[in-house]
Amino acid sequence: MKRIKITKMQGCGNDFVIIDYDEYEKTAMKMDDLAKKICDRHFGVGADGMIIPNLNGKNADIGWYFYNCDGTTAQMCGNGMRCFAKYVYDNKIIREKSFSVQTLAGIIKPELLDNGLIKVNMGKPILEDKKIPFYGERKIKVLDREFEIFPISMGNPHCVIITDDNPMDLALKYGPEIEKHEYFPEKTNVEFVRVKSDMEIDMRVFERGCGITLACGTGACASSAVCILNNLTEHKVKVNLLGGAVFVEWQGCQANPDQDIFLIGSADYLFFGEYVL
């Protein structure tokens, strides 16, 4: 019987199992298979994703392996990055409070703040259709509705929809259809956003590879950027998610979108334990 040490963490309810690489090696499993097994909420630990530190990250202080609960890889995950940053610092894998992480979306730079929050430089939003990737119109028809959409990437593809309706109702009904729509050849995360004020939005998300989740950091950034670009909010936005709130700061605009976007929020430990394979 094999046992591996695990750590369970969450950021705004987005939960992750973190496993050191030497513990992973004990499993003799492929990472995608392990992710599906360990993230299962009935027969495993239960999580939205699995994270394994990669001490051999190129051109960065550290890297990571990130897998969704269905075994697919994700280019980036903002809530996962905050948990990862806290984990590697607390475990003295990284000694500085500000460092760089190699991801499939490029170099991401988290910083542990003195107030206990984690601020992550999420890089620049990608608006060019081919780089998202997105091939289609700015209106999309699914089931019985047509929506105006805003395709954008935070290293992973997003489809943002501004609405006056209940965002959760829309995410539940239309999220699965839009996620796999032909306009998005790599599928997409889907965010339904209701603007509450010029400094606050509500967002519900259907995540690519996960379904409805309590939070999505890259989705919060994508949604805030769309709101800022359309002059719906100021440059610092409180994003209310199903599992809590995060703050997004971005100084970009239509004339100058080439600016880094910052995600600020908490990360918390849930438990430490052993998983029996």
The domains of the chain are located at 3-109+268-276, 129-259
Given 39, 216, 221, 227, the catalytic residue: 216
Low-confidence ranges of the chain (pLDDT < 50): none
The pTM for the full model equals: 0.92
Does domain 3-109+268-276 fall under CATH 3.10.310.10? My reply is: yes
Q: What per-residue confidence (pLDDT) applies to 12?
A: 94
Query: Does the annotation count 216 as an active-site position?
Result: yes
Q: What per-residue confidence (pLDDT) applies to 269?
A: 98
Given 77, 83, 159, 221, the catalytic residue: 77
Q: What per-residue confidence (pLDDT) applies to 1?
A: 82
Query: Does the annotation count 77 as an active-site position?
Result: yes
Name the residue among 204, 173, 202, 169 with its Cα closest to residue 190: 204
Q: Is 199 helix (H, G, I), strand (E, B) or coil?
A: coil
User: CA 65, 259, 217 angle in degrees (round to 5)?
Assistant: 40
> 129-259 adopts what CATH topology?
Diaminopimelate Epimerase; Chain A, domain 1 (3.10.310)
Name the residue among 159, 126, 63 with its Cα closest to residue 260: 126
| Residues ≥6 apart with Cβ < 8 Å to 225 | 125, 152, 248, 250, 252, 257, 261
